[in-house]
Amino acid sequence: MKTVRMEEMNWVDIKKAINDGFKTVVIGVGSTEQHGPHLPTQTDALIADVMVNLIAKKLKNTLQARTISVGCSDHHLPFPGTISLKKSTLKAIIHDYAESLQKHGFENIIFIPTHGGNFNPIKEAVEELQEKYPEIKIYGFTDLMGFVAAHYKIAADFNITKEEAGAHAGEVETSQILALAENLVEKERFQPGYLGVLGEEEIEMLFKKGMPSLTEIGVIGDPTKASKKKGKVYIEKIAEFLTGEIEKQLLL
């Protein structure tokens, strides 16, 4: 097959693929939100799209459905260009995706968020959907702490601290976008953002009062440590990690 992206395929070939055993479909769930003065607002959506494409190829017999490019980003709204869905809207979209895809014969429907604000809405929607469609498997990777830890582990191999790796537009995401869309990165604007503790208290404040309460430039982490080379490694290794988690879950 030339591609596993259904948006690049026609219904005839999609139907044939499903009949030939492509019973799994994966969907990335990104965001459209500020990522500091140096990264494009499509950062999470682009990472989701590329990451899920790698995952679909690694899983075998799997197709990729159109990436959901907007997510729950209320805490970034003080910054222009951020578009945020209400939790109920994102949940409704997840429901509609699954309801559409199950009609075509997919037996495993998998949602992969790349943005922190999407994990909880996906968790709730997937639980509801699994009850509604017990005959198929609907799964969302919703272990936010596991997701973050997997990034920090790779960062540590590069001698990058958790604080530098960062939760938002720091060394990790800047490296990833350098690898995926270097032309969209404003390198002369690289500057460290919030590098302090990011515990429960700080995260609560972030969600209640918005990103500017922690960082005026909208960056958590240190983009000055980023590189294209590391970005490629992050993307490849996180795709491997997520593929492993999906396989465990679905016993593929």
Whichever of 6 and 167 has its CB closer to Zn ion, that residue is 167
Q: Quote the least distance from Cβ 228 to Zn ion, whole Å.
A: 17
Q: Quote the least distance from Cβ 167 to Zn ion, whole Å.
A: 8
**Is residue 221 within 8 Å of residue 168, measured between CB atoms?**
yes
Whichever of 173 and 245 has its CB closer to Zn ion, that residue is 173
Q: Quote the least distance from Cβ 168 to Zn ion, whole Å.
A: 6
Q: Quote the least distance from Cβ 250 to Zn ion, whole Å.
A: 26
Structural tokens at position 94 = 């997840």
Q: Cα(109)–Cα(44) distance, rounded to whole angstroms?
A: 21
Q: Which residue is nearest to Zn ion (CB)?
A: 44
Whichever of 49 and 173 has its CB closer to Zn ion, that residue is 173
Q: Quote the least distance from Cβ 44 to Zn ion, whole Å.
A: 4
Whichever of 44 and 245 has its CB closer to Zn ion, that residue is 44
Whichever of 23 and 162 has its CB closer to Zn ion, that residue is 162
Structural tokens at position 147 = 């997701």
Task: Please list, in sequence order, all residues whose beta carbon lies within 8 angstroms of the beta carbon of residue 127, skipping any fewer than 6 positions away.
Answer: none
Structural tokens at position 105 = 């014969």
Q: Cα(147)–Cα(141) distance, rounded to whole angstroms?
A: 9
Whichever of 55 and 167 has its CB closer to Zn ion, that residue is 167
Point out which residues bind Zn ion (CB under 5 A): 43-44, 173
| Angle made by CA atoms 161, 162, 164, in degrees to the nearest 5 | 65
Instruction: Order across the sheet with 24-29: list the strands.
Output: 62-64, 24-29, 108-113, 137-140
Helix (H, G, I), strand (E, B) or coil at 2: coil
Q: Quote the least distance from Cβ 114 to Zn ion, whole Å.
A: 7
CA 2 from chain centre, in angstroms, equals 24
